[in-house]
Amino acid sequence: MASSSSKKLCSTGDGCKQVAITTCDGCSQAFCFKHFTDHRNLLNDELNKIICEHDDLKNSLTQQTNNPICHPLITQVNEWETQSILKIQQRAKELRQELSELTKNDTNNLSQKLQHLAKQINECREQGDFLEIDLYRWKETLDDLKLNTISSSKLTINAVNGNPLIENISVNIKNKLTNDLFERVSDNRVQIRENGHTVVDGGSSTIVEVRGKNEYVSGVHKIRLCIEEFSGTWLFFGINAKSTPVQNDVHSAKSTYGWSNNNYSWSNGRSNPISSNHPIEMKKNDVIGLIIDCDDFKISMINERTHTKHELTIDINYCSLPWQFNVILYEKNTRIRILSPEFAS
């Protein structure tokens, strides 16, 4: 018969002194019958929450598919259209009024001049007191009045450069997180685990490069990396040309672009100090967003905790496409994880 000292007690935190009857394979905790039942009920509740979230997302996608016109951005486009039409109609009304006033004033002015000319001609004709010079002068006056009559050749409608009547809009697709994985290391003291989702430095203090799997040639891509273990010695995030071999000390290669936590950026084989006003911070549990923009030849890094953003322009003469993201480790037990894809905020 087993002694009471060898029996395993329930591991719940409420002071239960009951003997454990089973162990949960998921959390490795031992439970008595009552608390094991409670534990399973909690798991069922969490499962039900996941199912509800799944159903809500499915219903949302179904509604969007069935009624794409109800998309909130469609509503925004409709509002822009309405406001633009109102602005155009208001401006057209103002222009019509302006043209009407100009035409009216000009017509009155020309009428007065014609009346004055007619009076001169009639008086001279009644008296028979006119010569060739008078005929020439009257004809010249008539020609001048014709030239000054309101017409399309006198007035034009011009576009106002630099001050558009309406504000133009466009559809901008936000950066979608890329499903990348760690694939290659320059030294086997660094291990890739969890099917490429994490990398762990298990060796001594040696600089080791870890390269991603994807090849980036066009478009804009974002990778989110979580620093799960790190005590602050040295760490690097950035990109490299696929054509550059994976190697230790790769941070000094001309094709390496990125940032290290000691407040330096790296490009063309050189390190450049970062302004103290926007220091680079990489701490344990920080999430780092790495944005790779192949279209504009640049990369950005954002610390989601501090919201600090850094940007580098890539010289493709040194770092040719395709690109791959890379992490450079130095400190033993450093662990980096690629977070699951989702839309960037």
Domain contains 78: no
| Overall domain count for the chain | 3
Structural domain boundaries, residue 130: 90-147
Residue 4 has pLDDT above 60, yes or no: no
Residue 150 has pLDDT above 60, yes or no: no
Element (H, E) at 271: strand 270-273
pLDDT in tens, 174-191: 566 778 999 999 998 899
Considering 123, 147, 171, which residue would you say is the last residue of a domain? 147
Residue 262 has pLDDT above 70, yes or no: yes
Query: Using an 8 Å Cβ cutoff, are 121 and 138 in contact?
Result: yes
Structure tokens at 173: 């697709």
- CB atoms < 10 A from the CB of 13, how many? 7
Coil, strand or helix at 327: strand
Rounded CA separation 103/100 (Å)? 5
pLDDT at 320: 93
The answer, yes or no, to whether the previous bond of 273 is cis (omega within 30 of 0) is no
- 83-88: long-range contacts (C-beta < 8 A, 24 or more apart)? 83/166, 84/166, 84/167, 87/165, 87/166, 88/165, 88/166
Rounded CA separation 194/186 (Å)? 19
Read off the pLDDT of each residue in 3-25 and give the average, rounded to a whole number. Answer: 79
User: Where would I find the H helices in 128-200?
Assistant: 132-147
Read off the pLDDT of each residue in 233-240 and give the average, rounded to a whole number. Answer: 94
Rounded CA separation 9/22 (Å)? 10
Does 194 lie in the same domain as 315?
yes
Does 291 lie in the same domain as 205?
yes
Structure tokens at 238: 């950035």
Does 123 lie in the same domain as 236?
no
Query: Using an 8 Å Cβ cutoff, are 323 and 218 in contact?
Result: no
Does 321 lie in the same domain as 192?
yes
Strand pairing class (264-267; 220-229):
unpaired
pLDDT at 163: 62
Does 301 lie in the same domain as 245?
yes
Question: Please, which pLDDT band fits residue 160 given cuts at 50, 70 and 90?
Answer: low
Domain contains 95: yes
Average pLDDT along the chain: 85
Residue 34 has pLDDT above 50, yes or no: yes
Does 200 lie in the same domain as 254?
yes
Which are the contacts of 97, defined by CB distance < 8 A and separation ≥ 6? none
pLDDT at 290: 95
Does 139 lie in the same domain as 43?
no
Does 316 lie in the same domain as 192?
yes
DSSP code of 301? Answer: E
Question: Please, which pLDDT band fits residue 55 given cuts at 50, 70 and 90?
Answer: confident
DSSP code of 70? Answer: G
pTM value is 0.54
Does 231 lie in the same domain as 131?
no
Residue 338 has pLDDT above 90, yes or no: yes
Question: Please, which pLDDT band fits residue 310 given cuts at 50, 70 and 90?
Answer: very high
pLDDT in tens, 64-116: 777 767 677 788 888 888 988 998 898 888 888 888 887 788 788 888 888 88
Rounded CA separation 129/38 (Å)? 124
Question: Please, which pLDDT band fits residue 2 given cuts at 50, 70 and 90?
Answer: very low
Does 237 lie in the same domain as 131?
no
Residue 157 has pLDDT above 70, yes or no: no
Does 333 lie in the same domain as 191?
yes
Query: Using an 8 Å Cβ cutoff, are 299 and 291 in contact?
Result: yes
Domain contains 72: no
Range of lowest pLDDT (35-49, 69-83, 142-156): 142-156
Query: Using an 8 Å Cβ cutoff, are 192 and 208 in contact?
Result: no
pLDDT at 277: 78
Domain contains 294: yes
CATH of the domain at 265: 2.60.120.920
Residue of 282 and 61 predicted with greater confidence: 282
Burial of residue 216, with CB atoms counted within 10 A of its CB: 0-12 exposed, 13-18 middle, 19 or more buried = buried
Domain contains 168: no
Question: Please, which pLDDT band fits residue 345 given cuts at 50, 70 and 90?
Answer: very low
Does 293 lie in the same domain as 228?
yes
